[in-house]
Chains A and B, each alone.
Chain A
């Protein structure tokens, strides 16, 4: 076990649960309610018997009272596919400690929670494009493999978040929960990122990895700012007026993300990279349960 995921970290995240209101049909047997009817414990409905039905599900009490054969139908609990889209661009590894650490811890937490409740988990790191994904896993014993995978992820170059999201949407995976963990700093602008996220048919959980210096940068004087990914430069005199304009632009970016999440009824978490992830999970899992 590496530095990222301590035993204490794993122990505490076992208490967390993700509850989906309903999962689409076609999954494997698990804990989430689904539209599928099958051999679960939760009674759903009756229907008339037709030849070939399992005779063990016939409600004999009804037959005794009415003389007709009815079958008892039960809800089939199924698993929830969780897809974690993890930003591994250079900006996530830029500062110390890198935002990628908090992002990976967040991904690990979600992975552990999902595997614990028999859901299926897949991790899709991305930079300019999707890179070296972790194939879907299920089963509690696959947790250490997933953690090991996360532990060894490296920087994937510049960011092209819209492209990565469209590539993921084109894969037509079973509808589930798509978790986007990123700083959402894309040179193409917030509008294009949001447009790409609209193309996802999954429920969304946006985890925005932030730092306090994002909103209040400790800069001053005549500066030539160099983008850590594209090396693009911007000459700027960091005056109070310019600083105010920067803050306005940053807040607008955050507000647009929040507004999009609200429209999609998706969860949104501002994950501070400078604070322990476990403390902030309580915001995402009130009373230990994240209902999606």
Chain B
């Protein structure tokens, strides 16, 4: 006989401890003084009600002691799960390999939980399905395969032990886990390896000199492929910045190429895009919607595919809002500014009294208007001509602008003591362009040296870009490029931990390594496993436990009937 649950010495210690405890209680029991009385008729009534409240009452009788000792010994023995040396011929030794890699963290389409939840339920179901005489071990297949349930461990612990597991953030080393399972089963009769995963695995061909144990696979979860909206981007048109095109990047991961239907929808209107494309696994494709007005409308990108994860199939966003900028001018505008305003298709010049978004003022005109304005300053001391222009600051207005030693002309600089202002352009120590954000109305101050007739700066394209940016900035245009990535646009909270997708990364949620892209199109037809319980003869554990319960019932019955105190 062997003790599968706990070692023999532990059983012995437990039994001796129980016996000792009971013996102490028995010795410490209350020893009543014997008194002869004329009748016990009335005492019986008094003692009957008090006996039930006495803790040590049950230890007053040697028979009680013997019964309780027997019960404790049987329980200790049952805890040890004794097993006979001889093994039943039909006993199954099974190792369940539970895939806990990163793909299992994906939320399942058909249930509320993740695929790992389904895998865990399948493992518990398998533990329940096996008969009491069979032996079960569980190996967790994450990057570091390990044994979490031994053959000797009590079967009811499987559910509790699996409950605390979570999928790893890395793909599983399934082959190593299967190898571990096979090594555990070596030398046993009726061995069986059961892999619970979300996709089939291609195992290396068994070596000729060693007979390997077959692996049965249970696939959980819905479809294993996944299409996802990787990004959405609005590209303004170079000629007409009020319009642009929308680029939707869709990626696909799966066992084989799949058709993906992409729709771009505007609320209350016909689909802007409705197309179907065949995507290869591990690839992405951009779908463009041309000539869209930047009118601030809300759009929705919707994918239709046989998907394993629905959360990444929708992306909702809002287009940038761009309208014509009404510019009111005052004073004698320098020629470069006037030419720019006349040639910019996004600008319409209006009178000083008309409603406008931006005012362009050439001093010394006395202008006391409110709102955003570009003010050409001419009241400061002149600076020395020929100084090279330099770009300062980190403002988006001057980002990526290069003037290549362009020099300023003869004119004034900008003097401002506004602490909230940011110097953008300067020559030497003289500031020539300042963006002030002190009040609600931002203003751009330009020194006249920038726009003088002898200024090389005014003739550079970069200066035109600078002025255009400044005008759009003052008008409130959002010039930040519109790029919507799933982690930013989707409502699915499970997506929060996902990094920005890239060409190299898988788009399967929860997985981030390129290794996952190499999908193995191996055995997709996992062998259907027979289900249903199988009755086996009760083991010693069950017999001993039943004996203990029977003794407990006998003791309780004898006590209730008054045979023992």
In the assembled complex, B238 has its CB within 8 A of some CB on chain A: no
- Encoded as 1 (CB less than 8 Å from any B CB) or 0, chain A from 244 to 259 comes to 0110011001000000
Contact with B along A191-232 (1 / 0, CB 8 A): 000000000000000000000001001010111111111001
Q: Do B50 and A223 touch across chains, with their CB atoms under 8 A apart?
A: no
- Complex Cα–Cα for A232 and B38 (A): 11
Determine the chain B residues whose CB is within 8 A of the CB of A222 once the complex forms: 30-33
Tell me whether B534 is interfacial, beta carbon within 8 Å.
no
> Contacting chain A: which of B39-47, B112-120, B426-434?
B39-47
User: Which residues in B have their C-beta under 8 angstroms from that of A61?
Assistant: none
| B 23-67 to A, binary, CB cutoff 8 A, 1 in contact else 0 | 000000011111111111111111101110010000010000000
CB of B564 to closest CB in A, whole Å: 12
Given the known A-B contacts A91-B38, A222-B30, A227-B37, are A241 and B43 also in contact in the complex, defined by CB atoms under 8 Å? no
**Residues of B212-254 contacting chain A, CB below 8 A:** none
A183 interfacial by beta-carbon distance below 8 Å: yes
Q: Is the CB of B46 within 8 A of A225?
A: no
The DSSP consensus for interface residues of chain A is mixed
**Given the interface contacts A235-B47, A235-B565, A242-B47, does A249 sit within 8 Å of B42 by beta carbon?**
yes
Q: Are B40 and A249 in contact (CB under 8 A)?
A: no
CA distance A41 to B300 in the complex (A): 135
Q: Knowing A183-B38, A228-B38, A241-B50 are in contact, say whether A236-B43 is a contact too (CB < 8 A).
A: yes
Nearest Cβ on chain B to A208's Cβ, whole angstroms: 13
Task: Please indicate the chain B residues that have their CB under 8 angstroms from the CB of A154 in the complex.
Answer: none
Distance to closest chain A CB from B76 (angstroms): 31
C-alpha gap A196/B19 in the complex (Å) = 53
What separation, in Å, do the CA atoms of A217 and B47 have in the docked complex? 15
Residues of B within 8 A of A136 (CB): none
- List A contacts of B46 (CB < 8 A): 236, 242-243, 245-246, 249
CB closest chain-A residue, reference B45: A249
Pair A237/B54 contact, Cβ less than 8 Å:
yes
**Chain A residues with CB under 8 A of B51:** 235
CB <8 Å contact, A185 and B35: no
CB-based nearest A residue for B60: A235
Minimum CB–CB distance for A85 against chain B, Å: 19
Are A185 and B36 interface neighbours, CB within 8 A? Answer: no
Q: Which residues of A contact B36 (CB under 8 A)?
A: 94, 225-228
Interface size on B, residues (CB 8 A): 24
Is there contact, CB below 8 Å, between A225 and B37?
yes
The closest CB in chain A to the CB of B50 belongs to: A242
Task: Tell whether, in the assembled complex, residue B30 and residue A227 are in contact, meaning their CB atoms are under 8 Å apart.
Answer: no
- Residue on B with the closest CB to A242? B46
A221-B33, A245-B45, A245-B49 known; A234 vs B40 contact (CB < 8 Å): yes
- Which residue on chain A has the smallest CB distance to residue B35? A223
Please, which residues of chain B bring their CB within 8 A of the CB of A227?
36-37, 39-40
Known: A234-B40, A237-B54, A246-B42. A224 touches B33 (CB 8 A): yes
Q: Nearest Cβ distance between residue B199 and chain A, in whole angstroms?
A: 72
What residues of chain A lie closer than 8 Å to B43, measured between beta carbons?
225, 234, 236, 246
B42: which A residues are within 8 A, CB to CB? Answer: 246, 249-250, 253
Q: Is the CB of A185 within 8 A of B33?
A: no
Question: Roughly how many angstroms separate A20 CA and B47 CA in the complex, as a whole number?
Answer: 45
**Considering the chains assembled together, what is the distance between the CA atoms of A246 and B33 in angstroms?**
18
* A239 in contact (CB, < 8 A): yes
Closest B residue to A186 by beta carbon equals B41
The reply to whether B35 and A226 form a contact with Cβ atoms under 8 Å apart is yes
CB <8 Å contact, A236 and B31: no
Determine the chain A residues whose CB is within 8 A of the CB of B44 once the complex forms. Answer: 234
Chain B residue at minimal CB-CB distance from A220: B33
Contact A236 B39 (CB under 8 A): no
| Complex CA distance for A249 and B40, rounded to whole angstroms | 11
CB <8 Å contact, B40 and A233: yes
A183-B38, A235-B565 are known; give 20 further A-B pairs, CB within 8 A.
A183-B39, A185-B39, A214-B38, A217-B37, A219-B35, A222-B32, A223-B32, A223-B33, A225-B43, A226-B35, A228-B36, A233-B34, A234-B44, A234-B47, A236-B43, A242-B46, A242-B50, A246-B42, A246-B45, A246-B46
Q: Which residues of A contact B (CB under 8 A)?
A: 91, 94-95, 183, 185-187, 189, 214, 217, 219, 221-229, 232-237, 239, 241-243, 245-246, 249-250, 253
A-B contact pairs, 24 of them (CB 8 A): A94-B36, A219-B35, A224-B34, A225-B35, A226-B35, A229-B39, A232-B40, A233-B34, A234-B40, A234-B43, A235-B47, A235-B51, A235-B60, A235-B565, A236-B32, A236-B47, A236-B50, A237-B47, A237-B50, A237-B54, A245-B50, A246-B46, A249-B42, A253-B41
Nearest first, the 8 closest Cβ-Cβ pairs linking A and B are: A236-B47, A245-B46, A249-B42, A224-B32, A185-B39, A222-B32, A227-B40, A242-B46
